[in-house]
Amino acid sequence: MAKNYGNKYNEPYEEAVKNINKIIDLLKKTYPEALTTSLKFKNPFELVVATILAAQSTDKQVNKITPFLFEKYKSPQDFANADLPELQKDIKSTGFFRNKSIAIIQCAKDLIEKFNGKVPDNVEDLIKLHGVGRKTANVVIANAFGKQAIIVDTHMLRISNLIGLTIHNDPTKVEFDLQKIVPDDSWTDFSHKIVEHGRNICIARRPKCEICPISEYCRYYNNQK
């Protein structure tokens, strides 16, 4: 399957947009247990760190190391004062550990200096932290603070284009497109359902369109007929 998710189109797929509530209902029925992130955390800062670690890795892999990591480093201050080579060793199994260790230490320092060590509950402040982009910020406000958020990870970016809910490949543009289409009380739930859909059915390179519950409303599927 091509990775040019939707750029050849000039506008969203009308069938998908007008039936967004049906799509949401079908995803809810298919993935009733997909209600939150699969990353394990006990407080907002742990989720910030876990989400940084999950970049170019998997939630499953991150969850293998965070129990030890958060026992060793219990606070933003602990991470801010961490020995860089030692932290790199602690997180090595998640990949890209050199960049991630620097990002985590600087993020902790930013949090202490800018917000007195307390994780903000809004995207605008969260993205002021080193290593925190809009995706990470939305993960945190949705899962640590219970706010509605569209989370544009690799699954959302790919699948929202395939369905035809957006024509953009820029994550921020996709986020804003989906905010206009998805009812605002369903943003977070829709995000979690799409992740599960990407893991189980709408798999990159080999989507299982024949068993997809929302294929009727999907541009990619209907263009294959």
* 208 belongs to the catalytic site: no
pLDDT for 224 equals 87
Place 56 in a pLDDT band, splitting at 50, 70 and 90.
Answer: very high
* 135 belongs to the catalytic site: yes
CATH number belonging to domain 44-143 = 1.10.340.30
Which of the residues 90, 100, 153, 189 is marked catalytic? 153
Rg of the chain over Cα atoms, rounded to whole angstroms, equals: 18
- How confident is the model over 75-126, as pLDDT tens digits? 999 999 999 999 999 999 999 999 999 999 999 999 999 999 999 999 999 9
- How confident is the model over 121-164, as pLDDT tens digits? 999 999 999 999 999 999 999 999 999 999 999 999 999 999 99
Residue given tokens 């893991």 in the structure block: 199
Instruction: Report residue 25 as tokens.
Output: 């209902």
Query: To the nearest whole number, what is the mean pLDDT of the chain?
Result: 96
Q: What is the CATH T-level fold of the domain 14-35+149-224, as seen in this structure?
A: Endonuclease Iii, domain 2 (1.10.1670)
Which of the residues 90, 100, 135, 193 is marked catalytic? 135
Domain extents in the chain: 14-35+149-224, 44-143
